[in-house]
A = this chain, B = another copy of it.
Amino acid sequence: MSAPAGELRAPSRVSVPADQASVRRNNLALVLRHLRDQGPRSRADIALETKLNKATVSSLVAELQQRDLVRDAGVRHGGGIGRPARIVELAGAGVGALGLELNADYVAAYGTDLAGRVIVDQRASYDAMTANPDAAIHRLAQLARHALADMEQAGAHVAGVTVAMPGLVDVGRGEVLFAPNLHWRDVPVAALLTSALGEPDFHIRLDNDANLGALAEFWSGSAAGTPHMVSVTGEVGVGGGVIVDGRLLRGADGFSGEFGHLPVDPAGHPCGCGRTGCWETKVGLGALVREAAPDLAYGTAPLRGPDERLSQVLRRAADGDARASAALEEVGRWLGVGAAMLVNLFNPRVIVLGGYFARLLEHIEPTFQCELDRLMMAGPAARCAVVPSTLGFGAAVRGGAGVALEAVLDDPTSVFRERGAELGQATPASQTNPGK
């Protein structure tokens, strides 16, 4: 046997030299995040804690102030030694971020600012399953205009918007490649919305609803901060997001986490994706309603939001409707099968069930748990808790707003570009709106 010398080497890490502008950007980001995470403090403390030198910190703070991202917060007197220290703090209320969502049967918006204030939180029924992309974008733009007006009125200048959609999203190009339950293929949502909003000065991103939901769960949900976490969102479709070591698993192109289309039953029902027996044909809200209450099924009954559809099914089961009870039991069983798959694949410490699953869980608990226990390879050793989402249908829009805020924290020069230009900062190429 021969083998090339050193073949068991891990590829070495290559470090790319950073240019001056990117060093400056990274340092602005470092100071801004430090103030957000650690709270108000003096320039001297920031220098000490970030290992930047004092003159640099003063210059960085000055620029962040000119961009309205930080502000003076008075003077702190020390223990009698030295001069009183001038304190700076995050001035996040002027910088807003908006999450929007277009899902099978609703549209939603969530607006917040860097200080954590919630300014917009809306959801409205909308039948996107029968609407064409132009009509749906028109509806989304209408919602966005109202939300943007509310944000401006509250003094939060919107620095970025993220749109959540169910299906495969090309994040870089802002396009939906395939949304099975909407029957959309290759729709440039970010560009269409940018145009519908009159070419605004902020960046409009597009991302998968379940990925954004997973980020929101990780940032602020009931199991926030758990480094190994899976989030599953149930609507008509079923999607998921996976947090690995504290980071969203996106895969090579951002298409990962399509749990809903795991083939679990060759003898099952046809799926919106064109195949048969996908997991979402067993546990999606469409499947529950179809089996539990065919008169309320999608495509036959008048428009209703997911909450109302679920409420009807639960009410019938509580009233002794055998068909509704059996359907709930079956969904519980298949949800257990799927949760076990996720445990066996990702070994998370927590599975967060979101969307309609959040309310459903307590009604199917015994069946669900029994099936999960039976099918986990590692059994109790896997120590995986399953918890309902406290964010419910609001996870994806929150995640969307959060991603837009993170973009500001990653690059503080992205806000108030006109003022940035006045400050003598070159506008980086990445600032031009990719949606245009």
Using a CB–CB cutoff of 8 Å, the interface residues on chain A facing chain B are 1-12, 33, 36-38, 112, 115-118, 121, 168, 170, 177-178, 180, 216, 218-220, 224-225, 227-228, 244-247, 249-259, 261-267, 273, 275, 337, 341, 343-349, 374-375, 377-379, 381-384, 398, 401-402, 405-406
Q: Is the Cβ of B5 less than 8 Å from the Cβ of A347?
A: no
Q: Is the Cβ of A168 less than 8 Å from the Cβ of B8?
A: no
Closest 4 CB pairs of A and B: A251-B347, A6-B116, A5-B116, A12-B37
State whether A121 and B262 are in contact (beta carbons under 8 Å apart), knowing that A177-B381, A224-B11, A381-B255 are contacts in the complex: no
Q: Is the Cβ of B264 less than 8 Å from the Cβ of A263?
A: yes
Q: How far is the CA of A256 from the CA of B402 in the complex (A)?
A: 28
Pick the contact of A347: B117, B247, B252 (CB < 8 A).
B252
Q: Is the Cβ of B118 less than 8 Å from the Cβ of A2?
A: yes
Please indicate the chain B residues that have their CB under 8 angstroms from the CB of A2 in the complex: 118
Summarize A's interface: helix, strand, loop or mixed: loop
Q: Is the Cβ of B344 less than 8 Å from the Cβ of A118?
A: no
Q: Is the Cβ of B345 less than 8 Å from the Cβ of A382?
A: no
State whether A266 and B263 are in contact (beta carbons under 8 Å apart), knowing that A10-B219, A251-B347, A252-B228 are contacts in the complex: no
Smallest CB–CB gap between A349 and chain B, Å?
Answer: 4
Q: Is the Cβ of B168 less than 8 Å from the Cβ of A378?
A: yes
Smallest CB–CB gap between A337 and chain B, Å?
Answer: 6
Pick the contact of A37: B9, B259, B341, B384 (CB < 8 A).
B9
Q: Which residue of B lies closest to A245 (CB)?
A: B247
Q: Is the Cβ of A255 less than 8 Å from the Cβ of B377?
A: yes
Q: How far is the CA of A7 from the CA of B8 in the complex (A)?
A: 44
Q: How far is the CA of A402 from the CA of B8 in the complex (A)?
A: 6
Q: How far is the CA of A118 from the CA of B253 in the complex (A)?
A: 37
A to B CB contacts below 8 Å, 8 in the list: A5-B117, A12-B33, A178-B377, A259-B345, A262-B341, A263-B375, A267-B267, A345-B345
Q: Is the Cβ of A256 less than 8 Å from the Cβ of B36?
A: no
Q: Which residue of B lies closest to A268 (CB)?
A: B266
State whether A121 and B377 are in contact (beta carbons under 8 Å apart), knowing that A252-B228, A346-B256 are contacts in the complex: no
Please indicate the chain B residues that have their CB under 8 angstroms from the CB of A220 in the complex: 3, 7-9
Apart from A5-B117, A227-B252, A252-B383, list 12 A-B contacts with CB within 8 A: A4-B116, A9-B219, A11-B224, A177-B378, A178-B378, A228-B252, A255-B344, A255-B377, A261-B344, A263-B341, A264-B264, A267-B267
